[in-house]
Structure 1
Amino acid sequence: MAVSRQARIAVILFNLGGPDSLDAVRPFLFNLFNDRAIINLPQPARWCLAQLISRLRAGTACAIYSELGGASPILPQTENQAQALAAQLASRGFTHSKCFIAMRYWHPFAEETVAAVREFAPDHVILLPLYPQFSTTTTQSSLEQWRGLSADLAAREHVICCYPEAAGWIAAQADLIQASLAGMAGDTPVRLLFSAHGLPKKIVDQGDPYPGQVAQTVAAVVDKLDMRSEEHTSELQSRLHLVHIELVD
């Protein structure tokens, strides 16, 4: 895609979102479980189940977020990414670009971001989900919600979707791991655990590519680190269980 450096470019960074206070934990959980991509039930059954789950899980979740300072760090971290990306675009001559954030389950919601993008009046809209691996429950859910709110922007939109083996991203993960390993005593036995969020088996059986793309990422990082098979393991985790995943060649 050839884009003039004089064009007005809106880059939308999509992420899951997280509660910005302990009072926001329960409504955040409700929004999460009321998403049809997460619980595929018709309304009002999904609404009722989301209310029940969010009420039952709120106490445990609040305790976890209390250990994080009373809020999720995901928005400040995403804001840092947006600022870094904006600086990179400006340094390459795209001085009329602007980065926006759209969270799926808490502020800033897509509705808020769509309004801000319309006010910016861009020539191009770049949709950039910050999920390296594609899933119907993350990337697809975020994009479908956005498109349901932004039909008037559709002709200007371009999607950057799923990059489980992108060289720069793999190198960044390897650098972070190497920095951690460098701080350990030389003779300390190390076994690296790659952990990613799990999916219900039903969703995977319907063809969701997420577990396979996670395995691709792990294989690429392991190759970059030149690690032996006995030096690492990989798990998909959920609240209830761990499921071992096989690496792809």
Structure 2
Amino acid sequence: MAQAPFGVLLANLGTPDEPTPAAVRRYLGEFLWDRRVIDVSRPVWWFILNAFVLRTRPKRVAEAYASVWEAEGSPLLAIGRRQQRALKAHLDAQYGCDIPVELGMTYGKPTMESAGLAFRRAGVNRILVLPLYPQFSRTTTAAVFDRLADALKPCPDIPELHFIRDYHDDSAYIAALAESVREHWATRGRQNHLLISWHGIPKRYADEGDPYPKHCKATSEALARALELEPDQWTMTFQSRFGREEWLQPYTDETLKNWDVKATPGIDVICPGFAADCLETLEEIQEENRGYFMEAGGEDYSYVPALNDRESHIEMLAGLVERNTRNWC
């Protein structure tokens, strides 16, 4: 095959190495120390993190990870590897040459450094950075940017980079989401309402200019239009809040605990912000929040899986690659 004109770095959040308190403690220590995630005064946050958070959360979080762990590792890593292989196969066929595709995590392994080393060994000097976050946030996409910059600091010669900021309103992304919902309805039956749940961020971040909630709203509205849903047939909420600070509302768990189950006894739930199923979807949404809904008297609760490595998702990602590398080919 001809020399690759570029490589693709698929970036995602990260995962513990194993579902144990020690591994989770290492992972959370790295993740929660990032200023992009928690921007509290460093001395204050160091004390809270080490005296309380890392002493109390790892055991509970490790048990949650153990409940969803796969033979290949955490779901995020296992699916990420499948996405990596599928995208590479698609791009190799599309371009007629070996297109290196590497997976790099902001926290944990595989690291950005390991991805960079693989690119260097392949002779690649142009890299398209594709964070698997459709909606931009300082806590996710910007953290990828920071982590990659740190990884490149020791390099005497850095590659040419192109960074995809977001794709929250990409037509192929919306179409893939809508297709996944329709297929879910066809196989599992359609419920009375679609709940669109997003990972939350502190409200203060949005007040300071983070466009994330606007991107979430735009994606939600586009998906509702694609599915021809009326305004009273879908709801947008935010999950996974942490700490005592106010986060984006309405909260997913509180919404489900107070759901009018007499009017709407069954719901479907989708989390479009997650490109791969992970702890927040498989344990928090599919298990914990399902429990809240059923305890409130709900009759049927069905989770629509993330796009993962389904064909329409891989084709959409390949389309993003093609449009953002035209000057390199």
Range class of TM-score, shorter chain: 0.7 to 0.9
**Superposition deviation, residue 209 in structure 1:** 0.6
1:44: how far off? 4.6
Measured at CA, do residues 145 and 55 of structure 1 come closer, stay the same or move farther in structure 2, by a change above 3 Å? same
For 1:9-28, what per-residue CA distance to the aligned partner results, in whole angstroms no more than 9, with x for missing partners?
22101100112312222211
Give the residue type in structure 1 aligned to 2:55: R
Question: Once the two structures are aligned, what percentage of the paired residues are identical?
Answer: 31
Task: Write the letter of the residue equivalent to 2:110.
Answer: P
Q: Which residue of 2 aligns with 1:244?
A: 250
Q: Equivalent residue for 1:105?
A: 107
What is the aligned partner in structure 2 of residue 76 from structure 1? 78
1:117 and 1:43 map into 2 onto residues whose CA distance is 35
- Cα 1:102–1:44 change in 2 (3 A) is farther
Q: 1:190 is matched by which residue type in structure 2?
A: N
Which digits, 9 at most, give the CA deviation of each residue in 1:14-56, with x for residues without a partner? 1001123122222111111111111114545444333331322
Mean CA deviation greater in 27-36 or 152-161: 152-161
Partner letter of residue 11 of structure 2? F
Q: Name the CA distance, whole Å, in 2 between partners of 1:163 and 1:221.
A: 14
> What does residue range 142-181 of structure 1 map to in structure 2 within 5 Å?
142-150=144-152, 152=155, 154-181=158-185
For structure 2, list consecutive stretches of 5 or more residues without a partner in the other structure. 252-329
Q: Is the 8 A contact 2:4 2:100 kept in 1?
A: no
148-157 or 121-130, larger mean C-alpha shift: 148-157
Runs of 5+ consecutive residues of structure 1 not aligned to the other structure: none
The match for 2:236 among 222, 234, 237 is 234
Label 1:144 to 1:94 Cα distance change in 2 as closer, same or farther (>3 A).
Answer: farther
Hey, what's the Cα distance between the residues in 2 that align with 1:183 and 1:10?
37
Contact 1:33 1:53 in 2 (8 A): no
Is 2:138 aligned against 1:141?
Answer: no
In structure 1, the residue matched to 2:34 is 35
1:201 to 192, 200, 203: 203
How far is 1:201 from its partner?
Answer: 1.5
Rounded to whole Å, the distance in 1 between the matches of 2:119 and 2:186 is 43
In structure 1, how many angstroms separate the alpha carbons of the residues matched to 2:241 and 2:40?
21
Residue type at the aligned position of 2:56: L
Say whether 1:11 aligns with 2:8.
yes
Q: Displacement of 1:103 after TM fit?
A: 0.5
Decide whether aligned partners of structure 1 residues 195 and 111 sit closer, same or farther in structure 2, where only a CA change above 3 A counts: same
Aligned to 1:118: 120
In the alignment, is the contact (CA less than 8 A) between 1:9 and 1:96 conserved in 2?
Answer: no
RMSD: 2.2
SS in structure 1 opposite 2:80? Answer: helix
Q: 1:149 offset after TM fit, Å?
A: 2.2
How far is the alpha carbon of 1:113 from its aligned partner?
2.2
* Alpha-carbon distance in structure 2 between the residues aligned to 1:111 and 1:44: 29
Residues 1:203 and 1:94: Cα distance change in structure 2 (over 3 Å): farther
Look up the SS of the partner of 2:88 in the other structure.
helix
Letter paired with 1:85 = L
Deviation at 1:203, TM superposition (A): 1.2
Cα offset for 1:243?
A: 1.2
Instruction: For 2:16 and 2:220, locate their aligned partners in 1 and report how far apart those are by CA, in whole Å.
Output: 29
Contact kept, 8 Å, 2:237 with 2:249, in 1: the verdict is yes
User: What is the identity, as a one-letter code, of the residue corresponding to 1:53?
Assistant: V
SS at match of 2:100: strand
Answer whether contact 1:8 1:121 (CA < 8 A) is retained: no
- Residue 96 of structure 1, aligned match among 89, 95, 98: 98
Question: Which amino acid in 2 is paired with 1:60?
Answer: R
Q: Following TM superposition, by how much is the alpha carbon of 1:176 offset from its aligned partner in structure 2, in angstroms?
A: 1.0
Mapped partners of 1:147, 1:94: distance in 2: 31
Contact 1:15 1:131 in 2 (8 A): yes
Supply the distance in 1 between the matched residues of 2:201 and 2:248 (Cα, whole angstroms): 11
